[in-house]
Amino acid sequence: MAKKILVVLSEWGYWGEELIGPLEVLDAHGYESVFMTATGKRAHALPPSMEVGYFDPPLAKVVTDEYYATRTREVDESSRLDNPINLSEWFPERPYFSSANFAHALEAYYTARDACWEQLKQYDALLMVGGSGPILDMVNNQRLHDVILGFRALDKLIAAECYAVTCLAFAREWTERTSIIWGKHVTGHALEYDYKDGTGFLGADINIGPPPYPLEFILRDAVGPDGQFHGGVGRTQSTILDYPFLCGRSTQDSKLVGEKMIEVLEHGLRRYGW
């Protein structure tokens, strides 16, 4: 039976190569990729990730080559991403503390979440694709946090790229409130590579300037004194595996993230990049 990967995409735009890179590796090894979005809307790639020759100002180099621009457009225009799983209809929403029936509502929430965690057993790994879109509908999505917690409870691989790595920092049990990456080694967008301007989202004619948060600072705080953030500044790639967490800093790490997923799932790799 083919291994199944649950792939989370943002409805506000994913970066093309960050999907295509690992997806092609998983396809080549016969894995089945099942797609999911926050509310069941079809995900689309951010336009710059389909623009051949797109120049990245912080890196001062072209980051969208002809191959990945073409492959991104092919997948984006195909039916492959149609009808994703609707996370909002699958996992329950935690009740407000001020709810009139809070005690019983909280019990119902945990019971429903446990049932959803049982359904996660059909998947071998979780992959969260990056881009600017995740900032809006993935990073602070309580239901997605519960998906991540479920994969951790099942001791299954959890992979995240670029700004989707922030999901790991904020995923935590409500009763404990300590990040699940506390004490872990991770990577993510380093401060040196953050945009000063031009952060936008699919379907919204806005430019919010720089990213709304410096991911490096969030990750440094989330891992605590016994963990470590690896920015990989000055190196083309920065991919860190501290099982069960596999993090890719940015676009250039996309294919390598896929390759390391295979090594984890087929060869038992538990540490890489540090």
Concatenating the DSSP letter of every residue in 27-73 gives HHTTPEEEEEESSSPPP-B-GGGGSTT-EETTTTEE---HHHHHHHH
Q: Which two tokens stand for residue 187?
A: 């990577």
CATH number at residue 62: 3.40.50.880
Q: Specify the higher pLDDT residue, 271 or 176.
A: 271
Q: Roughly how many angstroms between the first and final C-alpha of the chain, as a whole number?
A: 33
For residue 167, what pLDDT band results from cuts at 50, 70 and 90? very high
* Angle (deg, nearest 10), helices 102-119 and 142-153: 50
38-96 confidence digits (pLDDT tens)? 999 999 999 999 999 988 888 888 889 999 999 999 999 999 999 999 999 999 999 99
Residue 158 domain boundaries: 4-272
Residue 124 pLDDT more than 80? yes
**Mean of all residue pLDDT scores within the chain:** 96
Residues with Cβ within 8 Å of 104's Cβ and at least 6 positions away in sequence, in order, are: none
Q: With b meaning 16 or more CB within 10 Å and e meaning fewer, what string describes 49-65?
A: bbeeebebebeeeebbe
Tell me if residue 78 falls in helix, strand or coil. Answer: coil
Separation of alpha carbons 168 and 14, rounded Å: 17
Calpha distance 269→157 (Å, rounded): 11
Asked if 188 and 135 touch (Cβ cutoff 8 Å), the reply is no
Number of domain units in the chain: 1
3-state secondary structure (DSSP) of residue 267: helix
With bands split at pLDDT 50, 70 and 90, how would you rate the model's confidence at 264? very high
d(CA 79, CA 236): 33
Output the DSSP codes for 241-264.
EETTEEEE-SGGGHHHHHHHHHHH
pLDDT band at 1 (very low <50, low <70, confident <90, very high): confident
- The structure tokens 């991104």 sit at 72
For residue 249, give Cα distances in angstroms to 108, 164, 210, 232. Answer: 37, 10, 17, 8
Rounded distance between C-alpha atoms, residue 220 and residue 223, angstroms: 6
Tell me the one-letter amino acid at 234: G
Q: Give the contacts of 150 (CB within 8 A, at least 6 positions apart).
A: 113, 116, 117, 120
